[in-house]
Amino acid sequence: MLALCLLHYHCDERDPEIVRESVVTKIRLLPRQQGNPRNSEGDFIQLNDGRVLFIYSHFTGSGGDDDRAYLAGRYSRDGGETWTGEDVLVLANEGGMNVMSVSLLRLQDDQIALFYARKNALDDNRIYMRTSTDDIRHGLAVSVRTTTHQTAEPPVQSNS
């Protein structure tokens, strides 16, 4: 089993730290650095060429939940044992504050669906979905953006 540690408030190394335990290997893949104090909320998907793609929230500024962030990616060719060393921009920050909380899903028609939150303001946090027909090789430029839910105010149910 492979686990990635993303929150690195106490990790300042540039290279991934690998800790092997009996059945778990932990990789501290994304240490904080100048201009990137926090990385969080990621998901993995296996691509058709066998690589694993990891997409996560790459924060800038001070690293708080309301700070600017974009979706970045890293690739592994060996099932997660090693990863590319540089971030790839997957989705630029299109929100007033950030984009975050990514989830990935392989659809029945072989597209990849990318779900994420676009935080425009403290009271405007919306969930979006984009799709890719080419395993996100050319980004998500040809995909359709769909609002699925606004989280500012919960829906009100009436039983009358």
- Give residue limits of the domains in the chain: 34-150
d(CA 100, CA 67): 11
What are the distances in angstroms from CA 96 to CA 57, 88, 112, 127? 15, 21, 25, 14
Q: Give Cα separations from 91 to 76, 145, 157 (angstroms).
A: 19, 12, 35
Instruction: Name the range with the highest mean pLDDT among 24-33, 40-49, 119-128, 147-156.
Output: 40-49
pLDDT digits (tens, 9 = 90+) for 136-155: 876 554 344 555 555 554 44
Confidence of residue 85 (pLDDT cuts 50, 70, 90): confident
Report how far residue 91's alpha carbon sits from residue 73's, in angstroms, rounded to the nearest whole number.
9
The strand ranges marked E within the chain are 2-5, 17-20, 25-28, 38-46, 52-59, 69-76, 88-91, 98-106, 112-121, 124-132, 146-150
**Which is the CATH superfamily of the domain at 34-150?**
Glycosyl hydrolase domain; family 43 (2.115.10.20)
pTM value is 0.76
Question: pLDDT band at residue 160, thresholds of 50, 70 and 90?
Answer: very low
